[in-house]
Amino acid sequence: MIDKDGIERPDDLHAHNRKLVKGKRKLKFDENYHFYPRLPFRLWAGFFRTFAVCVFNPVAYLKYHIEIIGHENKKKLRGQGYVITCSHVHVLDDVCCCSNVFPERMIYYTTLENNIRRRFTGFFLRSLCGMPIPASSLSGMKKFNEDVSYILKKKKKPVMFNPEGSLWPYYREIRPFKKGAFSTAVKNAVPVLPILVTFRRKKKRNGKFKYYLNYTIGEPLYANKTLENEKAEINELLSRTQEWYVKTNKEWYENNDCGFDDEKEEKKVEEKEEA
């Protein structure tokens, strides 16, 4: 399909937008893998994260003109474990979210197991506390869930998910969410902190566009414990979170001139209707 900006996308809304580079590192993400890193690697991760905050953050701010809305919402969960959901529309949106949006906290985030298998990229992501989702191993998935629960409840650290499941660069719509993040939140009795990534763009001399990033942090969302069972709680929390994303995304592009032609056309139509 072709989206509103003329970019070709897969027909399957959960499919990957581009061919994945196959990782060559021979790693087994089974019951013996430490999704929550052991102490020596955690020390390295702490050092690497400090380096990234000091060096990568200023570069990211200069390159992407990052704007963050809703700092007060993340402060409401200070000292707690919680699930972060973030839309996946830029190759560095997770990294920028972990280092630029949360420079003060260690954030663990989930990623494709293939990403961790890639040589340089995998080591970089792992050093920033990336956790591979072991889609090909039942025993690995059990260990993954145990380690995530330990991080949330014992270590009281946030864990980030991309509920859309795959990366669609510069896509300005919200795709259907998968249940993983919301199942994790309900089963561990922690809230969800939704974060929306939106864009502003500027046309360059060569006719191409340069994109800038905006992060909107929403109010923490809690499961409705009055429902009849856990499955209903998960579905309701997912639905409520997705409604926030759709509403906030629509309002952002309607109320801000972000450099997209359709915004100007929509404003003209609204002005004519008001007149």
pLDDT over 50 (residue 275): no
Q: Is residue 233 part of a domain?
A: yes
- Which is more confident, 254 or 269? 254
Q: How confident is the model at residue 274 (pLDDT cuts 50, 70, 90)?
A: low
pLDDT over 50 (residue 2): yes
Q: How confident is the model at residue 269 (pLDDT cuts 50, 70, 90)?
A: very low
Q: Which domain holds residue 133?
A: 39-274
The confidence score (pLDDT) of residue 204 equals 84
Q: Is residue 16 part of a domain?
A: no
**Percentage of the chain surpassing pLDDT 90?**
66
Q: Is residue 235 part of a domain?
A: yes
CATH of the domain at 199: 3.40.1130
pLDDT tens, residue by residue, 22-81? 788 888 999 999 999 998 999 999 999 999 899 999 999 999 999 999 999 999 999 999
Q: Is residue 19 part of a domain?
A: no
The confidence score (pLDDT) of residue 5 equals 82
Contacts of 219 (CB under 8 A, 6+ apart): 73, 76
Q: How many other C-beta atoms are found inside a 10 Å radius of the C-beta of residue 254?
A: 11
| pLDDT averaged over every residue in the chain | 90
pLDDT tens, residue by residue, 102-115? 998 899 999 999 99
The confidence score (pLDDT) of residue 243 equals 97
List the beta bridge partners of residue 213: 199
Q: What's the total number of domains in the chain?
A: 1
Q: Is residue 258 part of a domain?
A: yes
pLDDT over 50 (residue 167): yes
DSSP string, 224-243: -TTSSSHHHHHHHHHHHHHH
Average pLDDT over residues 147-153: 96
Q: Is residue 206 part of a domain?
A: yes
Q: Is residue 11 part of a domain?
A: no
Q: Token pair 């429902």 is at which residue?
A: 227
Cα 12 to Cα 15, 30, 58, 142, 175, distances in angstroms: 5, 29, 36, 28, 10
The confidence score (pLDDT) of residue 262 equals 60
pLDDT tens, residue by residue, 10-31? 888 888 887 777 788 888 999 9
The confidence score (pLDDT) of residue 3 equals 87
Average pLDDT over residues 229-249: 96
CB 197 within 8 A of CB 89: yes
Burial category of 71 from C-beta neighbours within 10 Å (exposed 0-12, middle 13-18, buried 19 and up):
exposed
Q: Is residue 123 part of a domain?
A: yes
Q: Which of 8-22, 83-97, 171-185 has the lowest mean pLDDT?
A: 8-22
Number of residues in the chain:
275
Average pLDDT over residues 193-213: 90
